[in-house]
Amino acid sequence: MGHWVIVEEHVDRLRGVERFEGTREEARSRLYETACAHRFAEGLQQRRREVFRVDDDTYYVEIKGSLGKYRLRYYLAERVWSTEAP
């Protein structure tokens, strides 16, 4: 079991969307679900969403909204070190 975070990247902003514990397969499944359904902005009226797999741990997403197009990247990060005791 690993400790994971799904990271959303938009322009020059990084944001942790979700933290959880699980296997790599579970983490990849949650990443895919997030790329397909995550609401990246409140009030965004999504008209179309396209999801592209870059590799097993990264998705590129284009969202067409009523005011323009948004390009995001969602990827997995696994915690490899922490000051927190196990």
DSSP annotation of 21 reads E
Could you read off the pLDDT of 9-23 as tens digits, one per residue?
999 999 999 999 999
For the residues 22-42, what does the mean pLDDT come to?
A: 95
- Distance, CA of 56 to CA of 73 (rounded, Å): 13
What percent of the chain shows pLDDT beyond 90?
83
pLDDT at 66 over 90: no
pLDDT at 24 over 80: yes
Q: What is the pTM of this model?
A: 0.91
Task: Give the pLDDT confidence score for residue 86 in this predicted structure.
Answer: 62
Residue located via tokens 């079991």: 1
23-28: which pairs have CB atoms within 8 A and are 24 or more residues apart? 24/78, 27/2, 27/76, 27/78, 28/56, 28/57, 28/76
pLDDT at 72 over 70: yes
Q: Which distant-in-sequence residues (6+ apart) come within 8 Å of 36 by Cβ?
A: 49, 51
